[in-house]
Amino acid sequence: MLSELQSPVQDKERAKGQKHKVFQPSFDWKLCESEWFIEQKLNYIHNNPTAKSEPLCLRAIDFKHSSARQYARLKNYKYEVKLVYEMQDINLEK
């Protein structure tokens, strides 16, 4: 089984330390045109670590790799992100 999972790993990935490939690469792109849709996606992303049968944390703001703390305007977040609300007037058509 391990040799089957090793065969799809490219040399470039192997050089970075990847040993196995379990999932096929995919990207599910969605156009975020409405505030409702953006809010729904942010809630999904922030609450995902809490939604498992064995959650990574009990509250979204407790997950150290999430932007939930910054969106909740709390201090001590690990990674600073540009909040989507700060980008609402940016024209992405350019």
pLDDT digits (tens, 9 = 90+) for 4-60: 888 889 999 999 999 998 887 788 888 888 889 989 999 999 999 999 889 999 999
Cα–Cα distance list, 88 to 15, 36, 69 (Å): 40, 13, 20
Structure tokens at 30: 């969605």
| Model pLDDT, residue 93 | 62
- In the chain, beta strands by DSSP E: none
| Model pLDDT, residue 50 | 93
Distance CA(1)–CA(21), nearest Å, equals 11
Distance CA(72)–CA(68), nearest Å, equals 6
